[in-house]
Structure 1
């Protein structure tokens, strides 16, 4: 379930080259604050996948909603929503 969500997020990623030690930059516009860099595009993509994963875990731990990405959604157990 989370793997599908991460893949859907990566399909929406926007990449650019920046002036930095890790010149590849990527972000997911629909997920505020989710971005990563890498020495090459593949490293950036891996780091971005890790950032999405951490973002989802954080939002779940805080009882925050996880937005749908197109038809891809995370089904959150009630006990997690209730903070139990």
Structure 2
């Protein structure tokens, strides 16, 4: 389920070419998830790593994570 969530989120990513900076990528709906890289592939790989960390932190904190293409992660606190 997590892999599908990550894949759907990455499908929404947008990339921009920045003169002298390489590429900038972000995921709409995932606040703070962005990355930069010299190539679009390097940017994509970095963006995926940032997304993974964002999901882990969100799950640990019990945050409600956004759905991507109707795929969502539900976090239930046990305690």
- Paired residue total: 79
- The TM-score with structure 1 as length reference comes to 0.83
Unaligned runs of 5+ in 1: none
Give 2:11's aligned residue: 11
RMSD: 1.5
- Report the CA distance between 1:49 and its aligned residue: 0.6
Alignment match, 1:26: 25
**Gap change, CA 1:75 and 1:62, over 3 Å in 2:** closer
- Runs of 4+ deviating beyond 4 Å: none
Q: Which residue of 2 aligns with 1:66?
A: 65
Q: Which runs of 5+ in 2 are unaligned?
A: none
Distance 2:28 2:39 in 1: 20
**Deviation at residue 20 of structure 1 after TM alignment:** 5.0
TM-score w.r.t. length of structure 2: 0.87
